[in-house]
Amino acid sequence: MTKRFLLMAGFSHYPNAGTGDWIAVFASHEEAWAQAERIDVKRTITKGKRKGETEVVSTGWKIGETIYDWITIVDLRRWTERESSLEAK
């Protein structure tokens, strides 16, 4: 089976240049999504009345042991077909 679904993830709102955000390629869209888990990013309060408590500071996507700010999945076949059609014009 051809792997055509590219999982991309990054640490800031804007993607990195080049292929720095590319994680891996998968055979299905579902397989690519299965790699990422939506999580709450928490911190422990170190001062004041709430010292020792944890609070959610953001949400993220965990892939392996790394937590990313965003993820997206690209269908490479559709992407390359689109690029080919633009070149033909």
User: For the segment 20-34, what is each residue's pLDDT rounded down to a tens digit?
Assistant: 788 999 999 999 999
pTM over 0.85, yes/no: no
pLDDT single digits (tens) 25-69: 999 999 999 999 999 989 999 999 999 999 999 899 999 999 999
For the chain, the distance separating the N- and C-terminal CA atoms, rounded to the nearest angstrom, is: 31
Q: Check if the beta carbon of residue 70 is closer than 8 Å to that of residue 61.
A: yes
Rounded to whole angstroms, the Cα distance separating 20 from 76 reads 17
One-letter identity of residue 44: T
